[in-house]
């Protein structure tokens, strides 16, 4: 996609990850803020982005044909919650559905791994947000083999091909959704290990942020390399034409928020969104009702 085709606030197409061997996570700069020098330079764009999203959501909702699914994946403290909060801040809550996926419950483990996502997909006209998603099935589950062992799968189905099979199943499921009118926008908030350290320290030192700190997050930090390997492989395998991944530099929160807003705007602008048209006979009926309404107030004034 060239800059000329870009529909967003700026050209965020370079955040897109290619499928296959050409993708290398290590090549992606976590502190990049291009094309903005600093937060001040981006100020107007941040405000404009939220306003444009609100207008697009209004049409999406009224038209009631397409739905949009934003999938947010990241290491702890990369800013998932803040990004979602910011990007959704101007939207009509009735048209949004945010779901946070945590460790699966017993009921969830009694089903196939896409089940809990499927029952939480956005309806037509809505924007759904997955804060973590079925991608955890090829991330934390891959990094910690005992989690896979606890998944109640028939042993004959758990082979060395399981990750490849899960990528295939995810790609097929996402293509199916795409063909049914769900536009999928996938973002990986790419934070550095050093920036995560700073944010954890901040959570420990600032009493208002203490609640955000979980000792379990430290354990996952010890597996940083394994996670990066799992992310690298997952992104390379599931960045498809119909649902590509975007690797969003996340060391600067203001930039990742702006970039995610932009990716959503770009996706929405590409849909043929329009308010439903009222045909001639319907217009006539509306005119009759309008006259009656006007007449009612005149009647009252008398």
Q: Which residues bind ligand ATP (CB under 6 A)?
A: 76, 81, 100-104, 132, 136-137, 140-141, 147, 214
Q: Going residue by residue from 216 to 255, which x/- string records binding to Mg ion, judged by CB under 5 A?
A: ----------------------------------------
**Residue position matching structure tokens 């189905």:** 157
Residue whose C-beta lies closest to ligand ATP? 136
Q: Are 125 and 59 in contact (CB under 8 A)?
A: no
Beta bridge partners, 137, equal: none
Report which of 122, 131, 121, 116 is spatially closest to residue 94, judged by C-alpha positions: 122
Q: Which does 300 bind (CB under 5 to 8 A by kind): Mg ion, ligand ATP, none?
A: none
Stretch in the footprint of Mg ion (CB under 5 A) among 12-20, 75-83, 194-202, 279-287:
75-83
Tally of CB atoms within 10 A around 39: 14
In the sheet with 127-131, reading across from the earlier edge strand, the strands are 96-100, 127-131, 67-74, 182-190, 245-249
Beta bridge partners, 222, equal: none
Decide if residue 203 touches Mg ion (CB under 5 A).
no
Q: Which does 195 bind (CB under 5 to 8 A by kind): ligand ATP, Mg ion, none?
A: none
Report which of 13, 76, 38 is spatially closest to residue 248, judged by C-alpha positions: 13
Binding test (CB under 5 A) with Mg ion, winner from 32, 60, 76, 174: 76
Q: Are 247 and 72 in contact (CB under 8 A)?
A: no
Q: Which does 136 bind (CB under 5 to 8 A by kind): Mg ion, ligand ATP, none?
A: ligand ATP
Nearer to ligand ATP, 54 or 147 (CB): 147
Nearer to Mg ion, 76 or 233 (CB): 76
Hey, CA dihedral for 122, 254, 101, 165, is it positive or negative?
positive
Nearer to ligand ATP, 37 or 102 (CB): 102
The C-alpha angle with vertex 63 and arms to 59 and 68, in degrees rounded to 5, equals: 75
Q: Are 57 and 127 in contact (CB under 8 A)?
A: yes
Decide if residue 195 touches Mg ion (CB under 5 A).
no
Q: Which does 101 bind (CB under 5 to 8 A by kind): Mg ion, ligand ATP, none?
A: ligand ATP
Min. distance of Cβ 50 from Mg ion in angstroms? 26
Min. distance of Cβ 162 from ligand ATP in angstroms? 14
Binding residues (CB under 5 A) for Mg ion: these are: 76
């Amino acid at each position: 996609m060239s800059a000329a085709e870009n529909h967003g606030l700026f050209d965020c197409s370079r955040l897109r990850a290619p499928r296959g061997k050409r993708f290398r996570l290590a090549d992606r700069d976590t502190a990049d803020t291009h094309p903005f020098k600093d937060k001040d330079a981006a100020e107007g764009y941040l405000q404009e982005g939220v306003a444009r999203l609100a207008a697009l959501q209004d049409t999406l909702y009224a038209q009631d044909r397409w739905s949009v699914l934003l999938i947010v994946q990241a290491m702890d403290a990369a800013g998932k919650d803040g990004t979602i909060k910011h990007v959704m801040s101007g939207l009509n809550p009735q048209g949004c559905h945010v779901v946070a996926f945590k460790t699966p419950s017993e009921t969830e483990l009694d089903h196939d791994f896409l089940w809990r996502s499927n029952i939480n997909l956005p309806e037509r006209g809505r924007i759904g947000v997955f804060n973590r998603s079925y991608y955890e099935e090829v991330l934390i589950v891959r990094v910690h083999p005992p989690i896979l062992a606890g998944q109640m799968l028939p042993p004959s189905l758990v082979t060395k091909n399981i990750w490849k099979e899960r990528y295939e199943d995810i790609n097929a499921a996402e293509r199916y959704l795409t063909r049914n009118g769900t536009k999928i926008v996938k973002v990986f908030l790419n934070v550095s290990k050093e920036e995560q350290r700073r944010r954890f320290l901040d959570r420990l030192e600032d009493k208002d942020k203490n609640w955000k700190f979980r000792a379990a997050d430290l354990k996952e930090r010890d597996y940083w390399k394994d996670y990066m390997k799992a992310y690298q492989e997952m992104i390379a395998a599931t960045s498809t034409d119909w649902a590509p991944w975007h690797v969003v530099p996340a060391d600067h929160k203001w930039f990742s928020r702006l970039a995610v807003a932009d990716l959503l705007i770009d996706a929405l602008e590409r849909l043929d969104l329009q308010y439903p048209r009222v045909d001639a006979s319907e217009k006539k009926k509306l005119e009759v009702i309008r006259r009656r309404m006007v007449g009612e107030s005149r009647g009252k004034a008398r």
